[in-house]
Amino acid sequence: MSLDDADHLLSKRADAIYCANVIAAWAERYIGTGHVEGKGDDVPSIEDGIVVQETGEGKFINAVSVNGHHTLRADDPLSVGGNDSGPTPYDYLLTALGACKSMTMRMYADRKKWPMDRARVTLRHNKIHAEDCAVCETDEGKVDQFNVEIAIEGDLSDEQRQKIYEISNRCPVHQTLINETSVVSKLTD
């Protein structure tokens, strides 16, 4: 592999991450994807869900197996004691929202046969004081605020662009986040 301006030790973090991703993409073809290898432990995979398990490699590093054939890593940043070896749980939440919005816009534009070239969703998450939230029912404590910017490229009219934007707010993950949800947990062996 050749990388301009990189030394042979890959001492720049961005260079090391890039090379690691290229090597991982190449290696994935040759190693099984049914389990995520952690430090001495395999993460079991299931066909219809996600398994998250600590790897033992760092304080917060988790291996993630998705639907039996996708492997991911989750971690926290250095600033809170993690190793910054993967996206945070909130990064994955934002990823879910952004991907769902983008896919929903693509599906709608294709169905309408509108010339949308590309959609881009930029997201940020903040905890804000409830009293500073103009659209929140809660007025005490803090609330989660998702800031989303949508860019739509293509030879579209202003009306088409607006309709595609409105449809993005109806994506399933957006609806999950704004509607009442229930998380049912149980302790197993």
Looking up residue 107, the CATH number of its domain turns out to be 3.30.300.20
185 in a structural domain: no
SS3 160: helix
Instruction: Compute the average pLDDT of residues 26-37.
Output: 56
Per-residue model confidence as pLDDT tens digits over 137-163? 777 778 888 999 999 999 999 999 999
For residue 129, list its beta bridge partners.
142
Q: Which of 98, 50, 18 is nearest to 6 (CA)?
A: 18
Residue 126 has pLDDT above 60, yes or no: yes
Residues near 181 by beta carbon (within 8 Å), at least 6 away in sequence: none
Please report, as a single letter, which amino acid is at residue 53. Q
Residue 22 has pLDDT above 90, yes or no: no
15 in a structural domain: no
Number of domains present in the structure of the chain: 2
Same domain, 104 and 155: yes
Per-residue model confidence as pLDDT tens digits over 176-189? 999 989 999 999 98
Name the pTM for this structure: 0.74
138 in a structural domain: yes
Per-residue model confidence as pLDDT tens digits over 59-81? 999 999 898 888 899 999 999 99
Residue 35 has pLDDT above 50, yes or no: no
Residue 41 has pLDDT above 60, yes or no: no
pLDDT number for residue 36: 47
Please state the φ and ψ torsions of residue 96, each to the nearest 5 degrees.
-60, -45
Instruction: Compute the average pLDDT of residues 15-39.
Output: 66
The domain in which residue 79 lies consists of 34-86
What band does 38 get if pLDDT is binned at 50, 70 and 90?
A: very low
81 vs 15, higher pLDDT: 81
Q: What is the rounded CA–CA span in Å between residue 178 and residue 100?
A: 14
Same domain, 106 and 38: no
Same domain, 105 and 164: yes
